[in-house]
Amino acid sequence: MPWLVLLLLIGMLTAGLIGTFEATLAEVALLAMFIPLIAEMAGNTGTQSLAVVVRGLALNHFDRDSIIRLIKRETATGLMMGIVCGIIVSLIALFLSQGSPILGFVIGVSLFVTILFSTLSGTIIPLLIHKLKIDPVVASGPFITTINDIIGLFVYFSIATSLLHYF
């Protein structure tokens, strides 16, 4: 319960973040349609990485070398998933926006960065929490999801706002 209450308060940053980019949303309302996609993909990829790490911790599979290999492997996985999902969503956005390549670019790049960051946070955060002698099963999931939402939406709206004059 304490983790959820703390993360509820931190999660309010997400609402404030969206409010900060209200002018961007007003200018390109179609951006709102992809907010759940960015947030859900961040949560999904972070949770997948978290599951791999928690399983490894439970089975006592990690030493210094294996942690470095794990981080490299998850980085490669995040890059691969980010590229594939970024391209797919770019094409979907291109279709939905009736041919606006900039919207596809913004969403594709944002999703790529979000997936890469989420994969890494899903790997590193439970390792850090475990190192602090806190059970990563209890604390990691909600923390990773909240942080990934904030970072993912910040990246998304920052890219969209910086390219707003091209829409």
pLDDT tens for residues 77-103? 999 999 999 999 999 998 888 877 999
Task: Name the percent of the chain in helix, strand, coil, to the closest 5.
Answer: 90, 0, 10
pLDDT digits (tens, 9 = 90+) for 113-134: 999 999 999 999 999 999 999 8
Task: For residue 13, tell me if it sits in a domain.
Answer: no
SS3 129: helix
Percent of the chain with pLDDT over 90: 67
Residue 9, in any domain of the structure: no
pLDDT tens column, 9-35 = 877 888 888 989 999 999 999 999 999
Residue 102 counted as domain residue: yes
Domain-located, residue 18 = no
* Least confident span in 1-5, 18-22, 145-149, 161-165: 1-5
Those residues whose C-beta lies under 8 Å from the C-beta of residue 24, and which sit 6 or more positions away, are 31, 157, 160, 161, 164
Q: Which domain holds residue 155?
A: 31-166
Q: Is residue 141 part of a domain?
A: yes
The CATH code of the domain that includes 157 is 1.10.357.20
Look at the chain and report how many structural domains it folds into.
1
User: Which pTM does this prediction carry?
Assistant: 0.90
Closest Cα to residue 89, out of 65, 122, 113, 68?
113
Distance of CA 76 to the CA centre of its chain: 16
* Paired tokens of 70: 């794990």
Residue 22 lies in a domain: no
User: Is residue 40 a part of any domain in this protein?
Assistant: yes
In a domain, 10, yes or no: no
Residue 99: what pLDDT? 72
User: Cα(125)–Cα(61) distance, rounded to whole angstroms?
Assistant: 17
